[in-house]
Amino acid sequence: MEGVIEGSASGQWQGRFPAGGSSLGIYPHGWHPRRGQARLQDWEIVETLGTGTFGRVLLVRADGQLPHFAMKVLRKSEIVRLKQVEHINSERRILERVRHPFIVELYSTYQDSLNVYMLLSYIPGGELFSHLRRAGRFSADVTRFYLASIVLAIDYLHSNNIIYRDLKPENLLLDRTGYLRIADFGFAKVVEDRTFTLCGTPEYLAPEIVLSQGHGKAVDWWALGILAFEMLAGYPPFFDDHPLGIYEKILRNEVAFPSHIDPYAKDLIRGLLTADRTKRLGNLRGGARDVMNHPWFAGVDWGSLERKEIGAPIVPRVGSMSEWDTGCDGG
């Protein structure tokens, strides 16, 4: 790929980005590099954080200054070839307008003849997925902390008529303090009513997506139920070697709970995994408040959590900067 000095054997990119790239704007609150405008060529590449279908994510800094940022580099030719133009544009538009402590922040976007560049907050603690796999499963307290954080983020997105549609441990990143950020908004969409696009991860798809009935905000609450089960059990409730097998199990909706999951957690998960979306917890008249008021979340100080005043249960050991997963697949 032209435009960046590439290392040879390691595949690491080095140096700076080429001059001539155009900025597509933004610079929101909290912008740092001396509060000035940073051109594409002002960013120095520190190392490659990860690669994906469309490109890669690079750790960058402005003129050798801290803090570090993550630069998502997406190849235009691959975006077009894989028919992902709409997803990439939607991701950019949505990240431009959202600001929440539990959502990754987009600072600026650039483009040149070859690539689209997205300058994002650098979240160094790795995917929640990797922490979950190392632990096997999470305790109720750990699960409650991270699930509550996601509830606040979903409530914020839904209040802005945004459905996320790709909730899974791989898209949840931990910062240095152990707090969570939702990343990868390639499947997110602004929806007033329903949409009919089939997208998402098979194990996390709601029945209405599988049946192509049109879907809305309720699919995020279903996915939260799947995530709650997976965090507590160590595996998703509906799994199979083939997507069709997964879809059949989703439609049968037979959830076998491990014995260690407590009754309140089971009740919460059953409420979220209600096949009839008109009766699904989170999609009722009370919205997210119904989820927040569930007995399993009793004792959660929602305000303190959103202000990050509570110590996180997992504090990542941030050594190598390469533990940040990229979400380079565009959703």
| Sign of the CA dihedral with 158 first, then 163, 169, and 171 last | negative
Q: What letters, b where the CB count within 10 A reaches 16 and e where it falls short, cover 144-175?
A: bbbbbbbbbbbbbbbeeebbbbbbbbbbbbbb
Task: Classify residue 257 by burial, with Cβ atoms within 10 Å: 0-12, 13-18, 19+.
Answer: middle
Question: Is there a contact between 43 and 53 (Cβ–Cβ < 8 Å)?
Answer: no
Neighbours of 77 (CB within 10 A): 11
Q: Is 276 a catalytic residue?
A: no
Tokens for 264, please give them.
Answer: 């309140």
- Nearest CA-CA partner of 171 in 321, 325, 48: 325
* Structural element, H or E, at residue 220: helix 218-233
φ and ψ of 109, to 5 deg: -130, 150
Tokens for 83, please give them.
Answer: 């028919």
Q: Find the catalytic residue in 155, 166, 175, 220.
A: 166
Confirm whether residue 189 is marked as ligand binding.
no
Question: Is there a contact between 255 and 229 (Cβ–Cβ < 8 Å)?
Answer: yes
Say if residue 67 is preceded by a cis peptide, omega within 30 of 0.
Answer: yes
Interacting residues of 252 by C-beta distance below 8 A, sequence separation 6+: none
Tokens for 251, please give them.
Answer: 């439609």
Amino acid of residue 282: G
Beta strands 172-174 and 180-182: pairing type?
Answer: antiparallel
Neighbours of 307 (CB within 10 A): 10
DSSP letter assigned to residue 154: H
Binding residues for ATP: 72
Q: Which residues are catalytic?
A: 166
